[in-house]
Structure formats: C-alpha cells, structure tokens
Amino acid sequence: MSTIILVSTENHRPVWNGAALIQRVPRGLKNPLCLKMAARFRRAREENQVTRFRLSAIAGLSNNHAAKIEDGQYMPTIQTLESFAAALGVSPGWLAYGPEGSEPFRERAPRPFTTPAEQRPADRFRSYKSRHAGFPERLRASRESCGVSMRSLASAAGISVQSWSNAESGKTVPRIDTAERMAVALGVAPSWLSYGYDEDAN
C-alpha cells in the first residue's frame, strides 16, 4: 500500500495525511528533471550567441566551467547554476529543472495538450539575486512542516544525514541533482526549494 500525500500548490509545502513519504520515493517513474539541464544550457547559450569561454567569464567562473556543464561532465551547485542563469538571461529554476520544476514531484505527470514553450533569454533575468541563499531556510521550514525526521528524509533522498544537515545549516551548497532529490523527499517543487518564488517569470 502506498502512502497518500496531498500537496499544497499554493505554497509548495507538503500536507501530510499520516505516514512519511519514504515509501513512495524509490517508486518514481520519471527521470530526474536536472538530467536535461545540459541541453537547456546549450540552447540558452546558443540563443545568446556567446561562446562557452565567454559565458564562463560573464558568469565570473573559471574558463572551462560552461564547457564541462554543457558536455555533461559536471553537475553544478545551485549557486553556480544561478550565476550562469543570470549570464544567460533565463530563470535559474527553469535552467536547472525545466518547466516541470515549478511543481511538486509527481510519478506520472499528465501529458500536456501542447509542449511547454522554451524559455527565451530576457533582460529581466540578467541580474544575479542570490536566490539560492534562501535554500537552507526553505529546506528547514519544509522539513519541520512535514514532521518527518531528518534521518528519514535523508534516506529517502539517498544522501547522508550529515549532508542534509550541512545543507540545512548553510555549511554547504548542494548540487542541483541533490537539491532535486531533497525536494522529492519533501514533496515540494525543486525550483522553489532551490531558488524560491520566481517573481520575474511573469
């Protein structure tokens, strides 16, 4: 018997009806949303008509950063990807997780009538706002709201309790794939957990 979990889409926090989420996480049928990040990264870079070397410089990162991300050799932290998102003029949540990232995890998402439009570079996204800095507080508040122990949630996310604790205390900045697994364990939207509400999306 699987656990039934209701999710509030208004504030992206889970509403629990009993047992923890742990029983359902390993049964997820979808690939992680961050797996298509490199393709979104490449499309956004090409639309900006900028080289990978130049993009790294604009983002204030080392010369090979963009190349490693685009070639799938490197999974960036939520902070690093936010720097690239500002340089590319796209939302960091969209760059990391695509359009589905703004909704809590669902094992089987209904097929949309139309394919979601790709986000286009826009000036309103080009300012770096350090949205990732709120990650520890959003993580802690979500954990406390669901009432499940850190150990159980860390197990569900496939990470160590120490890694979860370090992320929640702000000692470390998680990679986007780790942040997504945490969001799935908590039943919240990965874009929101990583970057908060995207006021610039509209």
Over residues 150-179, the pLDDT tens digits come to 999 999 999 999 999 999 999 999 999 999
Give the pLDDT of residue 15.
Answer: 40
In angstroms, the CA 104 to CA 142 distance is 12
3-state SS, one letter per residue, for the chain: CCCCEEECCCCCCEEECCCCHHHCHHHCCCCCHHHHHHHHHHHHHHHHCCCHHHHHHHCCCCCCHHHHHHCCCCCCEHHHHHHHHHHHCCCHHHHHHCHHHHCCCCCCCCCCCCCCCCCCCCHHHCCCCCHHHHHHHHHHHHHHHHCCCHHHHHHHHCCCHHHHHHHHHCCCCCEHHHHHHHHHHHCCCHHHHHHCCCHHHC
Structure tokens belonging to residue 102: 């703004």
**Backbone dihedral angles phi then psi of residue 82, each to the nearest 5 degrees:** -65, -35
Q: What is the mean pLDDT of residues 27-44?
A: 86
In this prediction, residue 118 has a pLDDT band, given cuts at 50, 70 and 90, of confident
In this prediction, residue 197 has a pLDDT band, given cuts at 50, 70 and 90, of confident
Quickly count: other Cβ atoms within 10 Å of residue 61's Cβ. Answer: 17
Candidate from 30-39, 135-144, 168-177 with smallest mean pLDDT: 30-39
In angstroms, the CA 10 to CA 8 distance is 5
Over residues 44-91, the pLDDT tens digits come to 999 999 999 999 999 999 889 999 999 999 999 999 999 999 999 999
Domains of the chain and any CATH numbers = 5-29+129-201 (1.10.260.40), 33-104 (1.10.260.40)
What is the average pLDDT score of the chain? 84
**Residue of 183, 90, 75 lying closest to 191 (CA atoms):** 183
What's the sign of the alpha-carbon dihedral 141, 127, 178, 57? negative
Give the pLDDT of residue 115.
Answer: 57
